[in-house]
Amino acid sequence: MGQGSDANIGGKSAAQDLGGTPGRLVDEAESQSLISKACQELDSSVARLIAAAERVPQSHHLWSPSPSARNAVEQVAHAAWALEQMRRMILGTPFAAPTTAEGDRIMREFDAGFKSLEEATELLHTNASRWKETVAALSASQIDDPVTLPYGLGEAPRRTMLEAGAAHTLWHLAQLEYLQTVMGDRDWGF
């Protein structure tokens, strides 16, 4: 894909699919508003993921329903890993894996290195802070610069990555909540 183009996914460009509007520039006030909202949403999603992980009984932290499913610790570790990869993309470094299969292999190897929820949670806090620092340093003139999306999906305005951090973390929250359901958790969570 050429400079400034967006990959087309299901009739929408990758930028639109990630919440952006291709080709529209923002001013400094709007840029700061987008950044503030993205940081608040990331804080909320990280807190929710950690709270859900802490509700998993310690005896089940490393349990998963199948060999291909992530356990509770791996869900948190993966969310932390992904935030760092997204931060690097925001800085202009594309994700190195050329295919989803290779990306999955890299992610699974990373996730498997974690054996405690505390270790994964600490990394999630660290990487969320680093992500927010990177995002907070963006100027309005940088917000719509293109970033290279993984797996040959083309390019999208950098601002599309602002929503990706919280959205991805929430996807893993949903997986963790389903994992608890599979374990037979009947706690109402109130």
Residue 78 lies in a domain: yes
Residues of the chain with pLDDT > 90, as a percent, come to 67
* Residue 25 pLDDT exceeds 70: no
* In a domain? residue 38: yes
Name, in order, each residue with C-beta under 8 angstroms of 122's C-beta and a sequence gap of 6 or more.
Answer: none
Within-domain flag for 190? no
| 81 occurs within a structural domain | yes
Going by C-alpha positions, the residue among 51, 43, 59 that lies closest to residue 75 is 51
Looking only at the bridges linking them, the beta strands covering 146-148 and 155-157 are antiparallel
Q: Summarize pLDDT for 156-185 with one digit per residue, the tens.
A: 999 888 999 999 999 999 999 988 888 876
Q: Decide if 19 contacts 138 (C-beta within 8 A).
A: no
pTM comes to: 0.82
Integer Cα distance of 177 and 74 in angstroms: 13
Q: Which structure tokens are listed for 18?
A: 């990630």
Domain with residue 116: its CATH number is 1.20.120.450
Q: How far is CA 162 from the centre of its chain?
A: 10
Q: Which domain holds residue 103?
A: 8-182
- Match 């950690």 to its residue by tokens: 50
Q: Position of tokens 């998963």?
A: 64
Which amino acid, one-letter code, is at 133?
E
> Which residue bears the tokens 């199948």?
66
Tell whether 187 is covered by a domain.
Answer: no
In a domain, 189, yes or no: no
Task: Work out how many domains the chain is built from and give that number.
Answer: 1
Tokens matching residue 174: 């949903």
Within a domain: 63? yes
2 lies in a domain? no
